[in-house]
Structure 1
Amino acid sequence: MLPSLVRMARTRSYSEAIRLLNTCQSNAATIEAIRKSGGRLNDWAVKEMVDYLRRIGYQPDDLNRLNVVHVTGTKGKGSTSAFTERILRSQIAGGKIGLYTSPHLCAVRERIRVNGEPLSEDEFAKFFFEVWERLEADPKTLTDHTPVFPIYFRLLTLLAFHAFLSLGVDATVLEVGIGGTYDSTNLVPKPIVAGISALGLDHTAVLGNTIESIAKNKGGIYKTGVPALSVKQEAGGEVLAECAAAVGAPFEVVPMIPSTPLGLRGEHQRINASLAVALSRTFLKAEGKTPADVDDVLPASFVKPLADTKWPGRCQTVPQGETTWMLDGAHTVESLQSCGQWAWEKNTGGAPNVLIFNCSGGRQAEQLLGTLLEAGAQTAGTTPAELGKTFDTAIFCTNVTYTDGHFKGDLTAAAIDPDDLAALATQRALRDAWLALNPGFDAERVHAVPSIQHAVNIVRPLGEKRVLVAGSLHLVGGVMEVAGLQDALTME
């Protein structure tokens, strides 16, 4: 734990709130332990969160006032949450719809939105210090090993609960961070509805984990008497049904909606939109706010909000002068498959010819890059080797924001292994993997660099290029920050 002096507030400003929040980040070793646990962390995870909640003045039953739609899954939980929020906003006239998601791209405030807009800096600081000072005033923790201030994601979850309760939201779309059963969002005794998007062996999976064990963890968000929804799963669906039956939750595999224009690109988004439609329908029925055709597979009044949905940094194209940025935070094998399909679709306006890529340390560089190229080649009707030749430049950078080695405050990442960072070990492994996958590629045009600003500086003189940024949402957010793409962050 950092010295107590560092934890004392100097002012009540937004920048000071971010400084204090960053003292709660876990280091690389702790993050790796969380990943290996599949999001379980420890047997005290939920009990500790309940006690933190008590210390800021609430009981779990208070969270029922938030009217929660709880969403988890391996793939598509963020997109499902975005679709759901947009539908509910269109249906609850004059209402306040809260949305809690992670991670953020450029500013921590993006994680906590009301009617699509992030909390302002003043609002974030106000609610942050109210939570921080309540924890400070009641420092007795549940156990000797429980820190006085919760780790980063737990603190933000407490902040979201406090902000949404203070603002009197009419509905809350609550995205799980990691896993389900042991996640810090899993405190609400009685959500209105809970849903699970597609399951898969994602980047948190380790040796011994199976789809069945992942499904059991995700199914931990199902609650007694609360409608328990899921998309049709390739595997693990029976486990989800068993999880629902074990707690007495009515279980439903949602139907696929017919093809309709969606604000989020990629064929896989129809699966996410289908879950969002079912979640919204169930919510509106429970709250007595139902349109006349609510029982249709796709109610007519849901069509426009689905088409209007925006989810920054996911399959997003942003033109900027001579450069067209193609942004997708895909960071798993499954999501990189979808990214490849999207980036080489004929209707994206053109294929990428520059790549900026990063992934967390210890991951399989060749597998991830190979997946992206194979999916793109299949979509474009060519081979991965031929597709690789269409690139002018490939850049592999860390998630450090600036060339001077500093992060923007909101983008500070204590989870980066300092030894890996100093040696550019991950970036060099990615460079080697790219050259192995693309024999004959000009090695002078493959870069391993220490910051996002280095990468953007390489792109700028290249002239008219289409730049695919992928492998990490933190990377996408950093590029948006450094390249000046903040206007693309809106969900409006």
Structure 2
Amino acid sequence: MLPTLLRMARQKTYAEAISLLNTCQSNAATIEAIRKSGGRLNDFAIPEMHDYLRRIGYVPDDLDKLNVVHVTGTKGKGSTSAFTERILRAHLPGQIGLYTSPHLCAVRERIRINGEPLSEELFARYFFEVWERLEADQKTLTPHTPVFPIYFRLLTLLAFHTFLSLGVTATVLEVGIGGTYDSTNIVPKPITTGITSLGLDHQAVLGNTIEEIARNKAGIYKPGVPALSVVQENGGGDILERTAKEVGAPFEFVPMIPETPLGLHGTHQRINASLAVALSKSFLSTRGQPFTETLPESFIQPLAKTKWPGRCQKVEQSPTTWLLDGAHTIESLRSCGEWAWTEAKPDVLIFNCSGGRAGESLLGSLLDAGAKTSGGTREELGAGFDTVIFCTNVTYVDGNFKGDLTSKAIDPNDLSQLLTQTALRDAWLKLNTSFPPDRVHAVPSIEHAVNIVRSLGTKQVLVAGSLHLVGGVMEVAGLQAALSMD
């Protein structure tokens, strides 16, 4: 009787939904183990997702009604998904669903309809429908399977339920981690699938070879479903092609599209746009809209209008110019440096990353790319900064997170002692030996960092190293209007 009364008393608000969702977060040690395994830690991952799907009232074949474009890769899969969604939206009637991760300011950004985040009202409605179905049927697949799935799995179930409830025309579905064992990989027959660039930066993080990474990503390929990939300059392409053949999926390396204006900045975006064009052509050909050109005329405007918040994004907020890019690998930080010093001359840096020991190579890549773009040296570029701030991803000065930005994935010992931030500060001073140490700050929250920026007057602030950091800065600095994809 008591659980029933508790359910009746529960407030079915967005805030309450986020509070319950956060109980499903894994701690720092679990996240690290999953990350190092490439998402393969749990051999029961896919069977468990099938069982969770059953418990909320669906079978896998129901997911084919979503008309899925499934996208994975090491880098660029979010941008590719954004380009693809925008093209499909311009060519199809009805509503286009988009599921991506992570979010910047609000969890509901992960589930979008026609480019807009799900409203708080709809998020709460569909969340509690999923939650209460799981609550009502607590028979799990194994004794070790939790009654409520971990954070990303629950959001994936919520996305499926939302899109099915709304009857979307098409769904662009971005993989979370890896491919084979990812919770999104339970759609029996997507319309088409695509793999973005496989980067070597993640090879070291995951402890795998590029061949193993490619094999994992190719796990999204399905029999009879087009299997597309960009040309893999760092290797792995042969593995993708071979795996597609083994699966029985028609394989293609997509051609590079001609130069055309893109709504997303950075030279690498042409690669992502090329895959998006090929995915869209593949999808639309099944809907009676065949295209033979490498870049159809009707795709040009959607590509130019595509937005992807927090990635190479310039936001003016007098007296501050914010340059926001969640780049967090060596290669993406090179692209960030090229973009940032093309757009402006940053004189404040706010930075964070998941491991301070990699700080010297990450910061060095950013500075070297900026120096090459601006025609100077790394030392000259570093000296051009007025202030450098390394902060945690904690949102507020009081040590609390905004509900949507709560993270249990931060090691509490690291956090309390600012170990990562201190290591980054040391790396900066090692790279820039003449830089005044009193202008390099290691602070415990994003609000601390934004307060420092506010005290400096007119500045051009580059925020990089972590999408979670970028989202926190957008929240604290009041830049939420920049989250729209329209």
TM-score relative to the length of structure 1? 0.96
Shift, 1:208, TM fit: 4.2
Question: Aligned partners of 1:81 and 1:42: how far apart in 2?
Answer: 27
Name the counterpart of 1:232: 231
Name the counterpart of 2:303: 306
Corresponding position: 1:57 with 2:57: yes
Stretch moving more, 320-329 or 355-364: 355-364
Name the counterpart of 1:48: 48
Name the counterpart of 1:192: 191
Question: Aligned partners of 2:264 and 2:449: how far apart in 1?
Answer: 27
SS in 2 for 1:223: coil
Pick the aligned partner of 2:362 from 355, 360, 368: 368
Corresponding position: 1:259 with 2:259: yes
Letter paired with 1:377: A
Name the counterpart of 2:436: 442
SS in 2 for 1:324: strand
**Is the Cα contact below 8 Å between 1:357 and 1:472 reproduced in 2?**
yes
Shift, 1:206, TM fit: 3.8
**Is the Cα contact below 8 Å between 1:105 and 1:477 reproduced in 2?**
yes
**Is the Cα contact below 8 Å between 2:68 and 2:170 reproduced in 1?**
yes
Shift, 1:225, TM fit: 0.2
In structure 2, list runs of 5 or more residues that go unmatched.
none
Name the counterpart of 1:340: 337
Name the counterpart of 1:404: 398
Shift, 1:361, TM fit: 3.4
Shift, 1:476, TM fit: 0.2
Question: Aligned partners of 2:424 and 2:53: how far apart in 1?
Answer: 42
Name the counterpart of 2:214: 215
Name the counterpart of 1:87: 87
Question: Aligned partners of 2:357 and 2:219: how far apart in 1?
Answer: 27
Stretch moving more, 35-44 or 181-190: 35-44
Question: Aligned partners of 2:55 and 2:369: how far apart in 1?
Answer: 49
Aligned length: 483
**Is the Cα contact below 8 Å between 1:36 and 1:204 reproduced in 2?**
no
SS in 2 for 1:372: helix
Shift, 1:287, TM fit: 1.9
SS in 2 for 1:98: strand
Question: Aligned partners of 1:362 and 1:441: how far apart in 2?
Answer: 19
**Is the Cα contact below 8 Å between 1:216 and 1:240 reproduced in 2?**
yes
Summarize deviations over 1:382-433 as a string: whole Å, max 9, x none: 2111110111100000000000000000000010000000000000000000
**Is the Cα contact below 8 Å between 2:34 and 2:40 reproduced in 1?**
yes
SS in 2 for 1:441: coil
**Is the Cα contact below 8 Å between 1:35 and 1:204 reproduced in 2?**
no
Summarize deviations over 1:329-354 as a string: whole Å, max 9, x none: 00111111111111112xxx422110
Question: Aligned partners of 1:221 and 1:6: how far apart in 2?
Answer: 40
Question: Aligned partners of 2:388 and 2:259: how far apart in 1?
Answer: 35
**Is the Cα contact below 8 Å between 1:356 and 1:397 reproduced in 2?**
yes
Name the counterpart of 2:427: 433
Shift, 1:9, TM fit: 7.4
**Is the Cα contact below 8 Å between 1:76 and 1:198 reproduced in 2?**
yes
**Is the Cα contact below 8 Å between 2:78 and 2:100 reproduced in 1?**
yes
1:205/1:189 CA distance change after superposition, 3 Å:
farther
TM-score relative to the length of structure 2? 0.97
Pick the aligned partner of 2:317 from 311, 320, 324: 320
Corresponding position: 1:172 with 2:136: no
1:149/1:254 CA distance change after superposition, 3 Å:
same
1:8/1:244 CA distance change after superposition, 3 Å:
farther
Stretch moving more, 378-387 or 460-469: 378-387
Letter paired with 2:242: E
Name the counterpart of 2:294: 297
Corresponding position: 1:422 with 2:419: no
**Is the Cα contact below 8 Å between 1:9 and 1:20 reproduced in 2?**
no
Name the counterpart of 1:140: 139
Question: Aligned partners of 1:333 and 1:8: how far apart in 2?
Answer: 50
**Is the Cα contact below 8 Å between 2:231 and 2:254 reproduced in 1?**
yes
Question: Aligned partners of 1:353 and 1:41: how far apart in 2?
Answer: 42
Shift, 1:463, TM fit: 1.4
SS in 1 for 2:390: strand
Task: Determine what percentage of the aligned residue pairs are the same residue.
Answer: 77
Shift, 1:39, TM fit: 1.3
Stretch moving more, 38-47 or 246-255: 38-47
Name the counterpart of 1:487: 481
Question: Aligned partners of 1:55 and 1:202: how far apart in 2?
Answer: 38
* 1:6-45 superposed matches below 5 A: 10-45=10-45
